[in-house]
């Protein structure tokens, strides 16, 4: 049997051949097999002129054209050769089936490359499998080029290549380049990654690079005897499941596990092994964004992605790999790709203050650490020698949780206490501006707009900037130090219980800052169902825009126990998220679980500068929102509350005021009180009859079972645009009618004094603790905000966006109703 390989591109016009193998890369393979280029299929060349591209073929009765570079990736046997291989010759004619069968025999040649660190036992394995006698040695550099051997197993012929040992696939040594070229140019069917089991961490580094390359890999976990001797427990099956690569333990020097290894190779070659799965190593959001940018450009040249994974090429470019750049030189968009990579590298290096190559290496080790943390248990060293590592504590089975909860509590506590000082300063500033405009401007709609509309609205929200910056500072700090990854790690098991895994945890925590980036961060999840489930429950993570509402109401109504009340709101949000996930898991997302590696990136001491920059990025968004959405909404709410001016009052206030002022029986004090009381009443009635009052009254039937007055209803509606607007609306509505009261203080004090002016509850306080608490829950749960819905629509689809709107609002109402009604029974 001849072992020369014929490629589809070698055939001449009119030639017929049978396909034996499709090489090349994931996306290319998928496309070409969809076109009909599969093993055993007959293909005829219609036109193949020497310098012409593309080439035309006929397959399955269709004419298709392939680029020459594509045809170079399809292995065939000519019909003549297949006939020659056929064992049964029947009067000179051979039927199609026999041809196919004999052609496929040739397709049963599996090319296997042995790749691994020096001294991991590649040559030993090679010798044992092939019965050859290459030198083995306990020093590196023994194998300088590839040795090739042939062996047979079952129906299959293996061509095995023993490649030089490398620690990594870069370009620093001839060995590395040799291995790399072999994989990308000779294209073995399967790479056997020989891993020294007694030195997993270092050996798996090469594995992470093979993962990037998106090729078929089987791990031979060699030196397994050494591992057993050390009394180490290693759950290699789990590891294999997590990284999508089968792992077979071997002891090459004694020939153990070799049969199993080759049996596995056949399964993987024939695509029968279900544990084979291409995974992405998560490099963290900054690198992932950079990769995506570069990949988008790479995709424009399909010749690159036929042979190489775009992700691998992009990673290599970020590592400033010259060989890869040289490979791309011949393509039209080379300069653009190079430019994008350069820009991305500059940005990354500025952000991390380290070489981009180091950043990627760190991320790879983060992946390995995470994978081993879950699968490898080393025996306890003797007590004195135990050096406790930070990870042993932070991801400890018992201590991990209290530490996490403590840090969360600390975060909220700091948000409150540290935030209250600058908050008071800004508050005082706003009040000063308010009073100054009030006295220096002449009376009229413009003054009212500025003072009540804009300062009342925007000013009411801007005071919370410090709280929000502090919250973002803590979140950035947790991300920058690497603690967030540890938190995800300990949360992983718990998250599994609700049908998610630890990776969903980071988007969820980010949700405390702002739900919009959190929903975008779900992109790091590989599975669509996980993404959608995470998206749906993210709005229950109370974002910083809701914080002003709580801070306002808590400080007004719950002056003692502020931290505790706030914490409880957040906890209720989390509980709802969990319940929702549990229900959804049952109803819509029943699925088979795939294990993942939870990366444990190295700890970094964050620089104050970087963390502040991250915090500021987020704070900027807040300020921008202030100048746009909140400003416009404030003006709108004010306008709706200001007009119409000519309302019909239920009584003649003007006459009553005059008669009060001229009533000789009253003291000056009494006069003043009566007048101010009448003025307040008049303004309240006017506002109630304004457009916004009409709107509020229209929705009253829906909200009065919750114990709310119409102004709260209006605030809720205004919060659809952004939740901070709830506060600005309250600022406008509750400030206005107390304007004339000289004792009127801050909005806080006004809320405290507020009574129902109409209806069954007339005269009773509006903001009882019960109503306030229910209201905060409503704000927490209902319709997140327009931006979040837009994000969900973008990341999922309209269906889920609409579902989120309806679902959250319904739950909000039910929870608020239950709180108020049940609470009223108890109190
Ligand atoms: P290579 O550099 O990867 O080709 O490694 P070699 O095949 O030259 O092997 C290096 C050394 O490891 C040799 O001394 C082998 O005898 C030894 N070795 C190979 N496989 C095993 C194994 O499974 N267990 C043990 N204990 N030693 C092995
Ligand atoms: Mg060797």
Higher per-residue confidence, 20 vs 244: 244
Higher per-residue confidence, 485 vs 243: 243
Would you give the distance in Å from CA 56 to the centre of its chain?
A: 43
472, 622 contact by CB (below 8 A): no
Distance from the alpha carbon of residue 762 to the mean position of ligand 1, in angstroms: 88
CA dist list (Å): 166 to 119, 177, 309, 462, 662: 10, 9, 21, 58, 101
Residue with CA at minimum distance from ligand 1 atom 25: 223
* 285-311 per-residue burial string, b: 16 or more CB within 10 A, e: under 16: bebbebbeebbebbeebebbbbbbbbb
Query: Is the CB–ligand 1 distance for residue 249 below 6 Å?
Result: no
Q: Which two tokens stand for residue 689?
A: 């009859």
Name the region of 48 (left: φ>0; alpha: ψ -120 to 50; beta: rest): beta
Show the beta-strand stretches assigned E in 528-591.
Answer: none
Query: Is the CB–ligand 1 distance for residue 222 below 6 Å?
Result: yes
Residue with CA at minimum distance from ligand 1 atom 14: 138
Query: Is the CB–ligand 1 distance for residue 165 below 6 Å?
Result: yes
Residue 400 exposure: Cα atoms within 13 Å on the Cβ side? 20
Q: Collect all residues with Cβ–Cβ distance below 8 Å to 766 and sequence separation of at least 6.
A: 708, 709, 712, 751, 754, 755, 756
The answer, yes or no, to whether residue 89 has pLDDT greater than 80, is no
Distance from the alpha carbon of residue 319 to the mean position of ligand 2, in angstroms: 28
Q: Collect all residues with Cβ–Cβ distance below 8 Å to 704 and sequence separation of at least 6.
A: 759
Residue to mutate (ligand 1; options 122, 136, 167, 197; most atoms within 8 A of CB): 136
**Token pair 């009060």: residue:** 660
pLDDT value at residue 94? 58
Higher per-residue confidence, 340 vs 586: 340
For the residues 586-604, what does the mean pLDDT come to? 75
Query: Is the CB–ligand 1 distance for residue 117 below 6 Å?
Result: no
Query: Is the CB–ligand 1 distance for residue 59 below 6 Å?
Result: no
φ/ψ (deg, to 5) at 798: -60, -40
Q: Collect all residues with Cβ–Cβ distance below 8 Å to 540 and sequence separation of at least 6.
A: 573, 574, 576, 577, 580, 780, 781, 808
Q: Which two tokens stand for residue 458?
A: 């925007």
Q: What is the atom index within ligand 1 of the atom nearest the CA of 222? A: 23
Query: Is the CB–ligand 1 distance for residue 137 below 6 Å?
Result: yes
Query: Is the CB–ligand 1 distance for residue 164 below 6 Å?
Result: no
Q: Which two tokens stand for residue 797?
A: 């689809």
Which of 47-61, 185-199, 342-356 is predicted least confidently? Answer: 47-61
pLDDT value at residue 385? 44
Q: What is the atom index within ligand 1 of the atom nearest the CA of 250? A: 23
pLDDT confidence of 672, banded at 50, 70, 90?
Answer: confident
Query: Is the CB–ligand 1 distance for residue 257 below 6 Å?
Result: no
276, 243 contact by CB (below 8 A): no
pLDDT value at residue 326? 93
pLDDT confidence of 143, banded at 50, 70, 90?
Answer: very low
Which of 215-224, 237-246, 542-551, 747-756 is predicted least confidently? Answer: 747-756
Q: What is the atom index within ligand 1 of the atom nearest the CA of 142? A: 2
pLDDT confidence of 774, banded at 50, 70, 90?
Answer: very high
Distance from the alpha carbon of residue 137 to the mean position of ligand 1, in angstroms: 7
Distance from the alpha carbon of residue 804 to the mean position of ligand 2, in angstroms: 59
Length of the chain: 827
Closest C-alpha among 23, 7, 29, 38 to residue 188: 23
Query: Is the CB–ligand 1 distance for residue 123 below 6 Å?
Result: yes
Q: Which bound ligand lies closest to the C-alpha atom of 138?
A: 1
Which of 81-90, 371-380, 590-599, 811-820 is predicted least confidently? Answer: 81-90
For the residues 682-710, what does the mean pLDDT come to? 86
Q: Which two tokens stand for residue 192?
A: 């056997």
Distance from the alpha carbon of residue 755 to the mean position of ligand 2, in angstroms: 86
pLDDT confidence of 139, banded at 50, 70, 90?
Answer: very low
Query: Is the CB–ligand 1 distance for residue 252 below 6 Å?
Result: yes
CA distance 154 to 172: 40
Which of 584-598, 656-670, 689-703 is predicted least confidently? Answer: 584-598
CA distance 86 to 99: 7
Query: Is the CB–ligand 1 distance for residue 206 below 6 Å?
Result: no
Query: Is the CB–ligand 1 distance for residue 121 below 6 Å?
Result: yes
Which of 179-188, 581-590, 813-822 is predicted least confidently? Answer: 581-590
Beta strands 217-222; 247-249: pairing state: parallel
Q: Which bound ligand lies closest to the C-alpha atom of 255?
A: 1
What is the helix (H) or strand (E) element at residue 58, kind and residue range?
strand 55-59
Would you give the distance in Å from CA 259 to the centre of its chain?
A: 41
pLDDT confidence of 739, banded at 50, 70, 90?
Answer: very low
782-785-790-791 Cα dihedral, nearest 10 degrees: -90
Distance from the alpha carbon of residue 217 to the mean position of ligand 1, in angstroms: 20
Distance from the alpha carbon of residue 136 to the mean position of ligand 1, in angstroms: 7
**Token pair 């280029």: residue:** 37
pLDDT confidence of 239, banded at 50, 70, 90?
Answer: very high
pLDDT confidence of 135, banded at 50, 70, 90?
Answer: low
Q: Which two tokens stand for residue 119?
A: 């001294």
Residue to mutate (ligand 1; options 114, 116, 118, 119; most atoms within 8 A of CB): 119
For the residues 489-505, what does the mean pLDDT come to? 81
**Token pair 């809720």: residue:** 716
336, 297 contact by CB (below 8 A): yes
pLDDT value at residue 208? 96
List pLDDT tens digits, range 532-558: 999 999 999 998 889 889 988 998 888
Query: Is the CB–ligand 1 distance for residue 251 below 6 Å?
Result: yes
Q: What is the atom index within ligand 1 of the atom nearest the CA of 224? A: 23
pLDDT confidence of 118, banded at 50, 70, 90?
Answer: confident
Distance from the alpha carbon of residue 123 to the mean position of ligand 2, in angstroms: 4
List pLDDT tens digits, range 276-322: 988 999 888 889 999 999 999 999 998 888 888 999 999 999 999 99
Q: Collect all residues with Cβ–Cβ distance below 8 Å to 614 and sequence separation of at least 6.
A: 472, 476, 479, 480
List pLDDT tens digits, range 389-421: 777 778 777 888 888 888 887 887 787 788 888
List pLDDT tens digits, range 431-472: 889 889 888 888 888 888 888 778 877 877 777 788 778 878
Residue to mutate (ligand 1; options 124, 206, 229; most atoms within 8 A of CB): 124
Distance from the alpha carbon of residue 328 to the mean position of ligand 2, in angstroms: 32
The answer, yes or no, to whether residue 581 has pLDDT greater than 70, is yes
The answer, yes or no, to whether residue 346 has pLDDT greater than 90, is yes
Instruction: For the beta carbon of residue 554, count every other beta carbon within 10 angstroms.
Output: 22
Distance from the alpha carbon of residue 368 to the mean position of ligand 1, in angstroms: 23
pLDDT value at residue 361? 92
Q: Which two tokens stand for residue 558?
A: 């719950």
* Burial class of residue 137 in the structure, from the number of CB atoms within 10 Å of its CB (0-12 exposed, 13-18 middle, 19+ buried): exposed
Higher per-residue confidence, 643 vs 581: 581
Angle subtended at Cα 567 by Cα 627 and Cα 415, rounded to the nearest 5 degrees:
45
- Collapsing DSSP to helix, strand or coil, 152 comes out as strand
Q: What percent of the chain has pLDDT over 70?
A: 91
Distance from the alpha carbon of residue 132 to the mean position of ligand 2, in angstroms: 13
Which of 325-334, 514-523, 577-586 is predicted least confidently? Answer: 514-523
Distance from the alpha carbon of residue 197 to the mean position of ligand 2, in angstroms: 17
Instruction: For the beta carbon of residue 694, count every other beta carbon within 10 angstroms.
Output: 13
pLDDT confidence of 744, banded at 50, 70, 90?
Answer: very low
Q: What is the atom index within ligand 1 of the atom nearest the CA of 251? A: 23
Radius of gyration of the chain from its Cα atoms, rounded to whole angstroms: 35
Distance from the alpha carbon of residue 231 to the mean position of ligand 2, in angstroms: 27
The answer, yes or no, to whether residue 622 has pLDDT greater than 60, is yes
CA distance 552 to 413: 16
CA dist list (Å): 154 to 5, 265, 587: 22, 12, 47
Distance from the alpha carbon of residue 237 to the mean position of ligand 2, in angstroms: 27
Query: Is the CB–ligand 1 distance for residue 119 below 6 Å?
Result: yes
What residues are paired with 247 via a beta bridge?
219
Beta strands 42-47; 55-59: pairing state: antiparallel
């Amino acid at each position: 049997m001849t072992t020369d390989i014929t490629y589809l591109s070698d055939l001449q016009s009119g030639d017929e051949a049978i396909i034996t193998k499709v090489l090349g890369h994931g996306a290319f393979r998928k496309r070409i097999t969809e076109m009909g280029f599969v093993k055993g299929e007959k293909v005829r060349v219609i036109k193949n002129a020497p310098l012409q591209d593309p080439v035309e073929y006929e397959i399955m009765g269709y004419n298709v054209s392939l680029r020459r570079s594509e045809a170079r990736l399809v292995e065939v046997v000519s019909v003549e050769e297949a006939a020659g291989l056929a064992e049964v010759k029947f009067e000179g004619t051979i039927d199609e089936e026999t041809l196919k069968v004999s052609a496929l025999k040739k397709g049963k040649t599996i090319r296997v490359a042995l790749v691994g660190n020096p001294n991991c036992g590649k040559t030993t394995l090679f010798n044992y499998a092939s019965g050859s006698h290459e030198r083995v040695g306990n020093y590196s550099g023994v194998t300088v080029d590839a040795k090739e051997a042939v062996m047979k197993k079952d129906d299959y012929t293996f061509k095995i290549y023993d490649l030089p040992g490398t620690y990594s696939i870069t370009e620093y040594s001839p060995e590395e380049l040799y291995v790399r070229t072999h994989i990308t140019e000779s294209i073995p069917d399967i790479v056997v990654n020989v891993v020294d089991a007694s030195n997993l961490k270092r050996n798996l580094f090469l594995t992470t690079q093979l993962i990037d390359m998106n090729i078929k890999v089987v791990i031979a976990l060699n030196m397994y005897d050494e591992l057993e001797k050390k009394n180490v427990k290693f759950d290699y099956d789990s590891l294999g499941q997590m990284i999508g690569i089968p792992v077979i333990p071997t002891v090459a020097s004694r020939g153990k596990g070799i049969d199993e290894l080759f049996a596995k190779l056949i399964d993987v070659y024939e695509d029968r092994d279900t544990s084979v799965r291409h995974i992405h190593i998560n490099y963290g959001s900054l690198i992932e964004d950079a990769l995506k940018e570069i990949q988008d450009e790479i995709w424009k040249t399909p010749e690159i992605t036929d042979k190489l994974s775009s992700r691998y090429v992009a990673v290599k470019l970020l590592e400033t790999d010259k060989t890869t750049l040289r490979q791309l030189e011949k393509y039209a968009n080379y300069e653009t790709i190079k430019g994008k990579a350069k820009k991305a590298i500059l940005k990354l290096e500025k952000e991390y203050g380290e070489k981009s190559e180091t950043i990627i290496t760190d991320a790879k080790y983060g992946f390995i650490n995470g994978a081993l943390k879950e699968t490898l248990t080393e025996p306890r060293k003797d007590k004195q020698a135990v050096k406790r590592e930070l990870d042993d504590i932070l991801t400890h089975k018992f201590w991990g949780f209290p530490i996490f909860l403590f840090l969360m509590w600390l975060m909220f506590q700091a948000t409150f206490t540290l935030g209250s000082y600058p908050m008071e300063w800004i508050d005082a500033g706003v009040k000063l501006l308010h009073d100054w405009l009030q006295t220096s401007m002449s009376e009229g709609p413009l003054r009212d707009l500025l003072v009540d509309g804009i300062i009342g609205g925007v000013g009411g929200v801007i005071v919370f900037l410090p709280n929000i910056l502090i919250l973002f500072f803590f979140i950035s700090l947790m991300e920058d130090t690497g603690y967030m990854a540890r938190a995800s790690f300990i949360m992983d098991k718990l998250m599994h219980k609700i049908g998610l895994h630890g990776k969903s945890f980071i988007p969820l925590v980010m949700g405390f800052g702002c739900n919009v980036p959190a929903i975008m961060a779900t992109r790091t999840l590989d599975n669509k169902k996980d993404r959608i489930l995470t998206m749906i429950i993210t709005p229950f993570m109370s974002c910083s825009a809701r914080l002003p509402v709580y801070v306002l109401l808590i400080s007004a109504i719950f002056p003692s126990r502020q931290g505790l009340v706030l914490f409880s709101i957040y906890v209720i949000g989390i509980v709802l998220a969990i319940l929702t996930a549990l229900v959804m898991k049952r109803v819509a997302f029943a699925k088979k679980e795939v294990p993942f590696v939870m990366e444990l990136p190295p700890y970094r001491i964050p620089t104050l500068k970087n963390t502040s920059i991250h915090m500021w990025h987020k704070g900027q968004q807040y300020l921008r929102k202030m100048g746009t959405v909140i400003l416009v909404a404030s003006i709108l709410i004010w306008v709706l509350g200001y007009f119409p001016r000519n309302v019909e009052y239920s009584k003649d206030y003007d006459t009553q005021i005059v008669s009060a002022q001229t009533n000789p029986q009253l003291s000056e004090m009494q006069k003043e009180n009566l007048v101010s009381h009448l003025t307040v009443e008049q303004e309240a009635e006017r506002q109630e009859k304004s457009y916004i009052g009409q709107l509020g009254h229209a929705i009253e039937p829906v909200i009065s079972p919750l114990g709310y007055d119409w102004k709260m209803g209006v605030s809720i509606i205004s919060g659809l645009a952004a939740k901070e607007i709830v506060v600005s609306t309250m600022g406008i509505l509750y400030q206005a009618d107390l304007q004339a009261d000289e004792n009127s203080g801050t909005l806080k004090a006004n809320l405290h004094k507020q009574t129902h002016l109409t209806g069954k509850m007339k005269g009773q306080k509006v903001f009882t603790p019960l109503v306030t608490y229910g209201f905060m829950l409503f704000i927490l749960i209902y319709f997140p905000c327009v931006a979040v819905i837009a994000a969900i629509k973008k990341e999922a689809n309209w269906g889920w966006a609409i579902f989120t709107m309806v679902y959250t609002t319904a739950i909000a109402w039910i929870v608020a109703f239950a709180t108020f009604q049940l609470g009223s029974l108890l109190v």
